[in-house]
Structure 1
């Protein structure tokens, strides 16, 4: 385990997460999810985690594995069309992961999701957390509108509220 990573996680606190994503930014993310979901049939959640819990850090868990845990814990897979999408942000590791349920996963290639993650990570490196996340959600929603367009019979199955851990 790298000492540098341990220190990053120990010193990236919940307060760091609140500074990066204050209440107004969270409100904008929620609005971006709600409005975007009107154009497609997927269900989008965003989970922002300042740092990993100590047990996961000691176990060497990385962003992708943590995103899988949270995808399950928050039941993002529990949608009618298997259309759940998780955008996971780990501030300490400066990583973004997008996980999808199989209904969406077969319609969008991994490289398309990765392009969204890369753009968001670049914005975060410049300190542009709110704008980077809103832009990423806009790109994600546009991609979903192309591949899984709304059929006009939308029911919201998962909360649009961002989760800060």
Structure 2
């Protein structure tokens, strides 16, 4: 059954059209002005059949994407990947080691649940925008921007379609 879901997964571009992507990008840009964290948003419609048959799950794939997109490679170890695997209806957050002991799994799960609620209500953009706010609040608390400090934008702000 899982293989069929991946073979006939919905299009990520249908769910997140160009105007929606621009709003998500703008929200990430605005959020990152308030802290030294980096938010990366990635959507994958489905996995290749080989990966599905090998048992690759969304958490494993999210960790792979975290590495592939270089989310781990920020000066303050403050990158966060928000990963959606549409075929499995799974949302994962992978946070760099700078958050260890600071943000709980339950707090990250709350942001994932917010996106899931938006998807269920056919409001994917609203769910993602709210989750960006929630994630940004954690970043502001743990990686605040100091007055007069310049913070380089280390990761692309535009969502990734994988």
TM-score if structure 1 supplies the norm length?
0.92
Q: 1:47 — aligned with what?
A: 42
Q: Superposition RMSD on alpha carbons, in Å?
A: 1.2
Q: 1:159 — aligned with what?
A: 156
Distance 1:78 1:88 in 2: 17
Superposition pairs of residues 1-165 of structure 1, within 5 angstroms: 3=1, 5-13=2-10, 16-151=11-146, 152-165=149-162
Displacement of 1:108 = 1.0
Runs ≥4 residues deviating over 6 A: none
Give secondary structure in 1 for the equivalent of 2:115.
helix
Aligned residues: 160
Give secondary structure in 1 for the equivalent of 2:116.
helix
Deviations 1:12-62 (A, max 9, x none): 15xx21110001111111111111011111111000111112221111111
| 2:114–2:128 contact (8 Å) kept in structure 1 | no
Distance 1:72 1:81 in 2: 16
Deviations 1:57-116 (A, max 9, x none): 111111110000001111111111111110001111111111011012332111100111
| 2:44–2:85 contact (8 Å) kept in structure 1 | yes
Unaligned 5+ runs, structure 1: none
Unaligned 5+ runs, structure 2: none
TM-score if structure 2 supplies the norm length?
0.94
